[in-house]
Amino acid sequence: MSVNPKVLEAMDESRLNGFHWKTMFTAGMGFFTDAYDLFIIGTVTAILTPLWHLSTAQLSILNSTSLAAAALGALFFGKLMDKLGRKAMYGFEVIMLAVGAILSACAPSFIWLVIFRFIVGLGVGGDYPTSSVIMTEYSNRKNRGFMVTMVFAMQGLGLLAGPLVASILLSAGIPHDIAWRIMLALGAIPAASVIYLRRKMPESPRYLMAVKQDADAAASAARELTGEAVRASAEAAPRAVIAKQSLWTPKHLLRLLGTAGSWFLIDVAFYGNSVSSQLILKALLPHAQLVTTTLVATAIFMVAALPGYFVAANLMDKWGRKFIQSLGFVVMAAAYAALFLVPSIAKMPILFLLLYAVSYFFIEFGPNTTTFLVPSEAFPTNLRGTAHGISAAAGKIGAFLGAFVLPGILKAAGLSVTMGMLAGVALLGALLTLLAVPEMKQRSLEDTEEIQVSPQATTHHSIVG
């Protein structure tokens, strides 16, 4: 079968329609669940520590299990969606999220909770490449950054829902040994709500054409998405097919260094804000109860961070991914450098809170969002899931280091030195972005493809659509 430029053009130039928005909701609910689970486990471990007499080592295992599993899940789902198809894999990650949440709520002991959290982590990791790639391949050229970023913005709403649910349950006087189980079980609801929608999602026309080499099926799928009739492969240039590429080429390896490296660095550097958050709460509310600190943390997130997601969505296709990611890293570096150079700021709650709010906004506006988007655009169709999975896994490894290695550095070297190190990490992220991350603003995904144009399989780079 030959390439059908009409299909690719129809996908690129279609207007936003109901199918786009349904796909955004279907993909986004997974990230809502991921974020809810990310917050709620912190409250759960705070409750379980006295109930189950958890040691520091047990707490570290409980928190790190999901991160390790998420890295594995991202690699596994990313590779399989390139091999078996987007449709074949989509939906199984939220099934794992829902099942893992219910099992976690029923865990009879620490060991079983760790096992069930591993299942949750696999689902969380799998959701990164599947949802990003699905939304990317269904989006049009003009609004792709907006739509994929809106999927990720559901994370912000999930991070908001988590503490609100925890606060309601704790304030209602529900016994703690029941409340933590309810908190975990509720995570199954948003995941389960989109299982059917994900399993019924049609195969991506771009995957059908580039990997399956089935222009007829691609035309049919494009018609379902765009609502416009698209002629099949007879209209295409004869003997032209999209060639399958290898990840192990200098161009793709450089891009992978950019996408995986910047995701790793943002998740390491993000630890600086986690430290700052605890310092702020300790300074403002030294004797507050868990409910109070939860609500204050929620208010800080809602004011400082949540707007960043939606501002990024609206500017992503105007300012570009590379500029937004670089800007975010630079502002983070400046905020951390200020705490390194002027340590006394940490003892001035108002100034400290202002500095924290600015850095928090630019984290969500910048690299925390762009690192999710760029890997789904920067690679050809047959490598897209694999490359995104590797990039997401690198991010989870960075999160692990940020959460479990840097506390030792903080304790040994102090806040000032730790913040100086994180300023360097953020600057490295900005440099890596400038050198290795491609700008895909307003560009067709087919810019990444190679078109084979002759029976002798001569290959060259070509822009299609």
The pLDDT tens digits for 159-211 are: 899 888 988 998 898 999 999 999 999 999 999 999 999 999 999 999 998 99
* 204-236 pLDDT per residue, tens: 999 998 999 888 888 888 887 777 666 554 444
What element of type H or E holds 237? none
In whole angstroms, what is the distance from residue 69 CA to residue 120 CA?
8
Residues 6+ apart with CB under 8 A from 299: none
DSSP per residue, 48-69: HHHHHT--HHHHHHHHHHHHHH
Identity of residue 46: A
- Count of residues in the chain: 465
What are the sequence ranges of the domains in the chain?
A: 1-231, 243-441
243-441, which class in CATH?
A: mainly alpha
Pull the structure tokens for residue 354.
């202002």
**End-to-end Cα separation, the chain, in angstroms:** 17
Give the pLDDT confidence score for residue 184 in this predicted structure: 96
Residue 33 binned pLDDT confidence (cut-offs 50, 70, 90): very high
Checking DSSP bridges between strand 241-243 and strand 450-452, what pairing results, if any? antiparallel
Query: Is it true that 1-231 and 243-441 share their CATH fold?
Result: yes
Is the model's pLDDT at 1 over the cut of 70? no
Beta bridge mates, 241: 452
In whole angstroms, what is the distance from residue 39 CA to residue 286 CA?
21
Give the pLDDT confidence score for residue 218 in this predicted structure: 86
Q: What is the pTM of this model?
A: 0.91
1-231, which class in CATH?
A: mainly alpha
In whole angstroms, what is the distance from residue 432 CA to residue 437 CA?
7
Residues 6+ apart with CB under 8 A from 50: none
* 253-273 pLDDT per residue, tens: 999 999 999 999 999 988 767
249/224: higher pLDDT: 249
Residue 411 binned pLDDT confidence (cut-offs 50, 70, 90): confident
Give the pLDDT confidence score for residue 215 in this predicted structure: 82
What are the Cα distances from residue 21, in Å, to 138, 145, 225, 341? 11, 14, 11, 46
